[in-house]
Structure 1
């Protein structure tokens, strides 16, 4: 029987949030966070949050889109001189403390100073454990806190040698047998005390293999001779669902420690348990806190038996090297391609640098004037591209700006701006004063629509209405190919050589058919998504390409080109072959246009075009059984709407007599 405990406010809030997400078909703790292995920590003490609080903050960060892993209380922020932005809502956390009924307060370490064992025991006996609640705010909700360098957002990179060493130590110290067979599932057999795994080659990558193995090891910690958890439940029972929760959170903690990201296949594999988790949490909400507590015990057990403590120095070195590499990226440009200082002064806008590099929040302050929320006395003059900070009586151009805010010497600041220029490729500012008609042969970056505060509606629309995996949608967002504009439309961005050359806006709701190209788009470039493959798949639209990626389990084996309408097929193909040098790269082109008259006619013309213009490349074609690839994905998702269905399933489509 599950132990009954009273939920505190923080626990109830997390249960409500998880139930809400589960009812939407999502597994909130397995969301594909870009920085999944950056553990949230306190901004003033650097203490890492653990267990229940760790899960709460990770979910809040993903929900609100926070990249900064730092959190602090109102009191801590006030002591540091930071201000919480108006309207910000904090996250309720808790930790257990001894409450003394005679003193009528929580005890601290000072209360035990100078006491012998007998006196300490007496003080404890007169006290009981109570949950002390507190509220924290994310660093992105604070004004005045120094922006965390991008390098500090990097978690521990995965290193297979360390994972192998941990597994070897676990096999020995847990006295557990890990067997590999040619099979399609992994599981822990509690009767034989053995873990059965598919061979590593059967996984898409070694990270997926180790993530699965650590999940099963988490189950194995519950054996009666180890942590002695209840492993008697069968699939669908409350006991089984709770044990799965324990393994889920335990393996998540391990993954963060060892740098294993949550992969889409792992997220999909958990879908079979959603109904059971919903039921058990509705019937007994206390299960969540109990499961996280047991997961923390399982993590500590694996940490001990896997001798992870002995690997801390190695993990810290790997982490440090990753941070150092990222810090040096900006300066790894071709020194022979230095940009003239006057060009830097003209083209690197202080407003861009302030936002992209320093993370400052800009606010209008009159005509051609911009201020920031973080520095009240700072004014940036956009018409002259210079600044003045009245509190320090400092001003000047972009070089002076970088010297002042980064505390750099002239040469260091110049080197930093060179790196910024090569990374972001800013537009030539002097051309903005001319009002010339756009030459269709000139490829240049376009001005994208204003983004919304978050991407929630786009993610919900594409994952729920369009049945695209949330992880794939998030990947597109993280890589700059997709975002939500201020009118809550999807914006798909086509790129070429680090430039945003075209973009398509479409409504992020089922009730609207709105779709339009962004002004100035170079439509001939199409939408390209590369995986360094020698095979290119050509689709009509971006959602078609994403749908194919969702259908295919090996979707990363292909490059993708969406032509943005069949009328643009030849132009997009020619651009891909010539401008993106596809004619020297690709061995095979697969046309996957819509299964309608227009799509079939365009396919035949495209095959003829390729055979005439680029005869050395093999050409194949395929059609969906439905009208287009998204309709095919939706059909297959509904057709397989059962607990054992894997969203990324493998199918084979015939193309010109060949199999895809």
Structure 2
């Protein structure tokens, strides 16, 4: 196996590796998921059905590695089931994106030490093979860049699901927008937006509001408008940033002729808490939202009205 990293063959190390794998499966079960039943085939489908495969060799992974890689696809919202080692990505002319974290899988086999071979020859007995495990790291193709076109990263998006002006805005923004997976978020640390594909939504128009909401968050990066994005989930600072992103998405939707939709009640509740605790909050949030929307719209050479989108989409 390429890029394998042998571990010591002591019983303690083998036990530790088995314990790690078992802990992963237990965590899946405690979260209410069966790791041996693919949780796809729903309106929020991400990766296509099938076994995970090595993108360089075409071989399907087997055994417990299937469960490990399925779990990684779901937990980390990957858009495909193709995997590569670090060296394989380089050999294909690409590379693993900086800051990406790999997934550890295992390779089990047996070997016969030289001493055991000699003992077997001297005694006329059959040699005893010793089981061993190797762990090695793989990366989903969605974590890589500059791979050949024939290395599929994500299923194609049916034509017409993304409105041309929204797609133009996303491309003009220069933000790294990754379409796939089951979650929508902006990563301040790595400066990228993740959003499920439009076909995962009950109504494709909701994809636009979601994508523009996450794009609104991205304007807070230090290289853009430099907002404070350090708030942890559930904090007032986090809720305030969510309010900025949601209002900016509404402004962007209006500018692009897209009917906006509202967030879930849990977000609304958090916003109410912010507004009730600070009567200046809505003014400050709306101001920051305008700056975010203006920043993104300013990336376009020209902003089209609703009629233009209607003509373009038929």
TM-score w.r.t. structure 1 length? 0.25
Q: Choose 1 or 2 for highest CA Rg.
A: 1
TM-score w.r.t. structure 2 length? 0.47
Higher relative contact order (Cα pairs below 8 Å, separated by 6+ residues): 2
